[in-house]
A and B are shown apart, each in its own frame.
Chain A
Amino acid sequence: MDLFLGIDVGSVSTNLVVIDPEGEMYLSPLYLRTQGQPIKAVQQGLSLLNERLTKKDRICGVGTTGSARALAGVLVGADLVKNEITSHAVAALHAVPGVQTVLEIGGQDSKIIIIKDGIVVDFAMNTVCAAGTGSFLDQQASRLNLSIEDFGDIALRATNPVRIAGRCTVFAESDMIHKQQMGYSLPDIVAGLCEALVRNYLNNIGKGLEIRPPVVFQGGVAANAGMREAFKKALQTEIIVPQHFDVMGAYGVALLARDHILEHGEKTQFRGFGVTNQQFQNSSFICQGCPNACEVIEIKQDESLLARWGDRCGRWTASKAETSA
């Protein structure tokens, strides 16, 4: 079977999706923790996929996205390196064709995408502040001695969610501690926290945007029933969580890679599953060329240079072949 691979390497998770030419999931998607080692995560993901594919399966196109998209693109030989906004929008449109609003909350960032008649017309991402992302929920869950998986269901048991200051997560945390000490019930506090995060999200990222149904909620945090409920309450509309909500970035870029290959009739640049066994060395050095002192990142494979980036002036970047084919 001719297949297309999408890889999303984010700060928290690395996801891999394989689709058939019709755009349907061919294998169940992989959701792995990046754990600060994007190269390893990609290699591990590829090796897991390789075990599941049969001899007849062929990867005909690869796309990468996520904050480590350039790095992943070099490693696997991507045909397409795309930003997360476009990837998420494409996946949402594929899963819910009439979608008008995409809420996406990931590990370190969150975004909102406004779609009209099947095209992206506006989007916003969190700015300087990372308040209200998945990492914060993770932290608070562990502070309350809850597993993040139970967090959402506990929120659903709330009868009277407490009001927690959601403007800034640092304030939210101290406010929450205060409410605990006052003796509020755990479900009410957890639900209050979800509502605070949703309020913060809508006020910051959704500021000035018209949120129209159908609303799709995706990204890792969409797994949290408490957050889904809080969005439903705040927006007064049904919140659709697509089946593959946690790998939508990878799904979207797989679709884009498929279109790219089919449209241009190109042969894939995919370097094959051998990548799994190869040794990659990543290192960095500080360029002494000028007072900017840029940190240049270097990726080598078996001592031969694959790519360099990180310099402002381009003197190092230019010294190798283009990173994104």
Chain B
Amino acid sequence: MIRIKKIGIPRALLYYYYYPLWYEFFTRLGCEVVLSPETNKAILDQGIKSTLSEVCLPVKVYFGHVAYLAGRVDYLFVPRITRVEAKEYICPKFMGIPDMLKARINKLPPLIDTTVDAGKEGNPVQCWVDCLRDAGNSLTADRKLIEDALEAALQAQQFFWKRLNSGLMLPDAIKGIAIPEIPVNSSSKPLRIGLIGHPYNVYDPFISMNLIKKLQQLGAVVVTPESLQADEIEKEAASLPKRMFWTLGKRMVGSAFRFFSSQKLDGVIYLTSFGCGPEALVEELVARTAKHQNMPLMMLTIDEHTGEAGINTRLEAFTEMIVWRLKYANHIPPYGESVHCR
């Protein structure tokens, strides 16, 4: 009897962008996909132990997920992602991930580290076709099977993107469940908060300290860049005097500009991870534009600390500030001589 091959996929980094594609492909090839559990303290601790201090938190978390999977699977899928769009790059840390893993983690199962490179003219779909085809060739000699699996995988990914664009939050879209009812917790109009940040930070409840849930508990409706169309983001990002050549950084800038100009939001929160190189630049661009457009913006920087008090204070203060602004913007000030004399 042929044993089914187990392919490990870390629930981290670009999992949040491409999981449906990967899952469908390997499953169609007849493999069993093993996804690591949601990030927890043990995974983070393991990740911190096995990386160098230089890398950002999400990469540390990725290492933790790899270490978790290492003894449990036959192969690990850790593609070497360099370019997914023409003339743009993914963060250099992502490109080097297969090498960093080999250098830092002992007893790794064989890595499937085929390259994703859209090249100079390449398109965002073909680069994945190339990568997965190479990956498939290392697992089976059945060409037909690979091509069929590819087709199904691309369809699954398209379906996922469509669900995101329809306004479904990423965790729901990735699971493929039905649209949940948005809880309305009071009669008052809820705040609409745009939440910008890399999906691997925003949607990892451990890394983000349940940011989305916290905002919802404070009475806010959370809108994320995933609900935007790719060309909307592209158009906004193109307004920069010089082209942003980091794909993910461009997503942040484009989404932020879109959020600012749409005027449907009451405020924007930008979640960044400490030690992110591209973000150091992008953050500043976003902050300046927010100020120019008079949009309330709060930067939240996350790192390894687990104390939630600091985050809570900032979220409370930020939402309160917005309520305050909305309530009194065109009226008398709530504090000061005019109101308090009785």
Whether A and B are associated in the same complex: the answer reads yes
Residues of A bordering B, CB below 8 Å: 21-23, 67, 82-86, 89-90, 93-94, 97-98, 117-123, 125, 127-128, 208, 255, 290-294, 312
Q: Which of A85, A98, A123, A294 contacts B336 (CB 8 A)?
A: A98
Interface size class of B (residues with CB under 8 A): 35 or more
Among listed B80-88, B137-145, B312-320, interface-contacting one: B312-320
29 A-B pairs (CB sep. < 8 Å): A23-B340, A83-B312, A83-B316, A83-B320, A84-B317, A85-B320, A86-B317, A89-B335, A93-B336, A118-B332, A119-B325, A119-B333, A120-B320, A121-B296, A121-B325, A123-B321, A125-B313, A125-B314, A127-B301, A128-B301, A128-B303, A128-B305, A290-B40, A291-B40, A291-B43, A292-B42, A292-B206, A293-B42, A312-B210
| B328 sits at the interface (CB 8 A) | yes
Other contacts beyond A118-B335, A291-B40, A293-B41: 9, CB < 8 A: A83-B312, A83-B316, A119-B329, A119-B334, A121-B325, A123-B321, A125-B314, A291-B41, A312-B205
Bitwise interface map of B from 47 to 86 toward A, beta carbon under 8 Å scored 1, else 0: 0000000000000000000000000000000000000000
Chain B interface (Cβ within 8 Å of chain A)?
40-43, 205-206, 209-210, 274, 287-288, 291, 296, 301, 303, 305, 309-310, 312-314, 316-317, 320-321, 324-325, 328-329, 332-337, 340, 342
Compute how far the CA of A82 lies from the CA of B320 in the bound complex, rounded to whole angstroms.
Answer: 10
- Within the complex, what minimum Cβ distance (angstroms) separates B261 from chain A? 20
The residues of B that contact A255 with a CB separation of less than 8 Å are: 335
Complex-state Cα separation, A243 to B53, whole angstroms = 46
Chain B residue contacts of A121, Cβ below 8 A: 296, 321, 325
Residues of the B chain whose Cβ atoms lie less than 8 Å from the Cβ of A89:
335
B337 surroundings in chain A (CB, below 8 A): 97
CB-CB under 8 A from A122, the residues of chain B are 296, 321
Does the CB pair A292–B40 fall under 8 Å? yes
A312–B334 Cα distance when bound, in Å, is 36
B288 to chain A: closest residue by CB: A208
Residue of B nearest to A97 (CB): B336
The docked-state distance in angstroms from the alpha carbon of A56 to that of B309 is 38
Is the Cβ of A90 less than 8 Å from the Cβ of B41?
no
Bound Cα distance from A67 to B41, whole angstroms? 24
Residues from chain B with Cβ under 8 Å of A312 in the complex: 205-206, 209-210
Q: How far is the CA of A123 from the CA of B342 in the complex (A)?
A: 30
- C-alpha gap A186/B200 in the complex (Å): 51
